[in-house]
Amino acid sequence: MRTLIFVVLLGTGLHGAAAVAHSLKYFYTASSGVPNFPEFVGVGMVDDVQIDHYDSNTKRTEPKQDWMSRVTEDEADYWERETGNFMGAQQAFKANIEIAKQRFNQTGGVHIFQFMCGCEWDDETKDENRPASGFYQFGYDGEDFISFDLKTETWIAPKPQAVITKHKWDNDKAWISSQKQYLTQRCPDWVKKYVDYGRRSLLRTELPSVSLLQKTPSSPVSCHASGFYPDRATLIWRKDGEELHEDVELGEILPNHDGTFQTSADLKPSASEDWGKYECVFQLSGVKDDVVTRLDKAKIRSNEKNSLVIPIVIVAVVVLALVVVAALGFVVYRKKNAKRPPSPVINPEVMEQLNPEA
C-alpha cells in the first residue's frame, strides 16, 4: 500500500440500531533528512479526534483536548509516563531508520519510518465476546513493511527485507503474547476510559450547514455539507425520492479545523427543466430527521458569479505508509507492574537483535 492520508469514508445504513464503535489509534513518524521538521512525532487519536501530541523538539507529551485533563484524576503520573513511552519510541525509531537503510542498501537522502496501532470497542457488547480488531502496522518510505495478523498471531512481511524481522518476531512467543494482550485487553480498556472522559464532546451530535456549489454552468453541482459531528454520516442525491448512483460522485469525509467534519456529493443533473426533482439528503447517525436540500438554480453559489472560495481547513492526520523492519517492543506486561501505560511502549534495546549484521 502506498502512503496514505487517513480519512474516514462515508458509511451507510446510519438510521439503524447498530452499536457505536469507538477507536483508539497511535501514529508514530520518524524522519531522516527532512529539514525544518521534527525527527519524531507521535500522536494519539480517539474516534479520530487527536488527544495528545509529542515531538522530538518539545520532548514532552501534551493534551490536545480539554477533557484529557481528567486522566490525572485517576493516574497522577499519566503525562510523565506517556512522555517516557514516546521518548523510548523516538530512540527506537531513529535506530530503525538506520537499520532499514542498511537493509535497502541506502546511504543518504530523505527517509520516513512509520507505525500505527489501534483497536476498537463498542458500547453495546461491553466486555463480552470482544472481537479481535486490533492491529500493528509498520512502514518505510511509503511502503508496507511488516504487520501483525491478530487472528493467526503471526507477522506478515510483504518485503524481502522484512523476512528476517518476521522470523525473529514469530519465534518470540512471549512478545507475541504481549502484543495480543495489549490489542485485545489494555487498548480497549483505555478506549472506554477516554470515551468516558470525553463523553460530552465525543458523543455529541451536530448537524451541518449545506450549500449547493457549481464552478461553471456546465460543471457538476456539488452538495457540500460542513460542520457535522460525528463522522458517521451519509450524503446522497435523490430524484423523485429514489437514491441516485449514476452520474453521482461521492466525496470523502474530511476533518475541519474545529473538530467537526465535511463532505460533498457531486451530481451531473439531466435537463434543467427536471432540476426541481433532485434533492441532496444528509443523514447523521443518531439523528432521526434528515437534512434535505432541494436543487434550486437560484440557491447555487457559482465561482463565475462571486468568485467563491470555500474556506476548508483540512487537518492532515498522520501520513502512514505501513511499516518497517524495525524492532518495536510494545508493552511488556509484567505481573509486578500494576500501572500499565495506555500507549505502546517501544524498547530501544530490541533494536540490536534486528540489525542485519547480527
Per-residue DSSP letter, 162 = G
Provide the β-strand partners of residue 294: 279
User: What tens digit of pLDDT does each residue of 107-150 get?
Assistant: 889 999 999 999 998 866 555 555 557 999 999 999 999 999 99
Q: What is the CATH number of domain 205-306?
A: 2.60.40.10
Rounded distance, CA 23 to CA 117, Å? 11
**3-state class of 14 per DSSP?**
coil
Identify the H or E element spanning 173: helix 173-181
Rounded distance, CA 55 to CA 214, Å? 41
Specify the pLDDT at position 18: 45
Instruction: State pTM to two decimals.
Output: 0.72
How many CB atoms are located within 10 Å of the residue 146 CB?
A: 26
- The full set of domain ranges for the chain reads 21-201+318-354, 205-306
Please choose, from the candidates 176, 170, 188, 195, the residue with its C-alpha nearest in 3D space to the C-alpha of residue 129: 188
Identify the H or E element spanning 81: helix 78-103
Rounded distance, CA 79 to CA 117, Å? 20
Specify the pLDDT at position 269: 84
Phi, psi values for residue 173, rounded to 5°: -65, -35
Angle at 299 between CA 295 and CA 305, to 5 degrees: 125
Rounded distance, CA 255 to CA 236, Å? 19
User: What tens digit of pLDDT does each residue of 141-200 get?
Assistant: 999 999 999 999 999 999 999 999 999 999 999 989 999 999 999 999 999 999 999 999
Q: Does domain 21-201+318-354 have CATH number 3.30.930.10?
A: no
Here the cell at position 321 is 505508509
Whether the predicted pLDDT of 331 surpasses 60: no
User: What tens digit of pLDDT does each residue of 55-78 get?
Assistant: 999 999 999 999 999 999 989 999
Average pLDDT over residues 81-95: 93
**pLDDT mean across residues, the chain:** 80
User: What tens digit of pLDDT does each residue of 248-279 get?
Assistant: 999 999 999 888 999 999 999 877 678 889 99
